[in-house]
Amino acid sequence: MADHQETVPFKALVAQASAVLLTRGVEVETTAVHGVVAHLVGVMAQRVGMDEEEAVHLVTPEAVADIIMKATAERAPGAAPPHAVRPVRVDDRLVRVRVESLGHLVMATAQAGKYAGLNGDGPAAAHLLDLGIEIGAALVKRHAEGEVEIPVGVLDEVAERVDAVADRVEADGWSVCPCGEDHGQRETDLGALPVMRHHAALARGLCGGDLP
């Protein structure tokens, strides 16, 4: 028997669930949606006593989206959403930004991503890494005369995520060395705060196409 996950109805269900999620304001990696669909189809097949290929027709796109949205909502206060979930970028405008400014934002995503990763927030670290890669790709592909075209949505997300990490450093004691022993790292962490705030403000300023 062919793999039910390779059938047209299964793939259509994944695509339809992804479309429903977009209407709810989030974009989810296809592999993550695929996994949830496979799980729900398997559960449904066991519940009603039929094979998984037939059970595909019993799972709705809305049910898949509900499961993913619930998992996104049920997280600790201040935590980032699951790594496969991203807000939909409603502003797809491109703005021109100086190469040097984007270089600062690459450093900002790397620094904030390091703090997130060292302090156990894998989803935030992955998001920041993705943003750094996206900025790097723009620097390589869309630069001319010392300027780069970059989506406004990227700048918005950089500002939001870097500020969020700064909040965790300030309020929750996130540290570049969370070993539990005091050997002066708090002074380093507090010194990093104004740099992160500055970079977040820079990203927000660039959204209007400013070239500082």
The chain-wide mean pLDDT, for the chain, equals: 88
**Residue 110: band (very low, low, confident or very high) from pLDDT cuts 50, 70, 90:** very high
**Contact between residue 56 and residue 4 where contact means Cβ atoms under 8 Å apart:** yes
pLDDT at 15: 94
**Residue 29: band (very low, low, confident or very high) from pLDDT cuts 50, 70, 90:** confident
For residues 92 and 44, the model is more confident at: 44
- Segment 178-209, tens digit of pLDDT: 888 888 899 999 999 999 999 999 999 998 75
**Residue 124: band (very low, low, confident or very high) from pLDDT cuts 50, 70, 90:** confident
- CA dist 121 and 125 (Å) reads 6
pLDDT at 171: 94
- Segment 163-178, tens digit of pLDDT: 999 999 999 999 999 8
Q: Side chain identity at 179, as an amino acid letter?
A: C
- Segment 127-165, tens digit of pLDDT: 899 899 999 999 998 888 899 999 999 999 999 999 999
**Residue 77: band (very low, low, confident or very high) from pLDDT cuts 50, 70, 90:** low
CA-based nearest residue to 72, from 130, 10, 16, 21: 21
The answer, yes or no, to whether residue 79 has pLDDT greater than 60, is no
Share of the chain above pLDDT 70, in %: 91
CA-based nearest residue to 81, from 72, 92, 70, 68: 72
Measuring CA to CA, how many Å separate 84 from each of 9, 34, 122, 141? Answer: 23, 12, 11, 25
**Residue 91: band (very low, low, confident or very high) from pLDDT cuts 50, 70, 90:** confident
Mean pLDDT for the stretch of residues 5-30: 90
pLDDT at 122: 84
pLDDT at 106: 96
Among 4-18, 82-96, 179-193, which stretch is predicted with the lowest mean pLDDT?
82-96
pLDDT at 211: 42
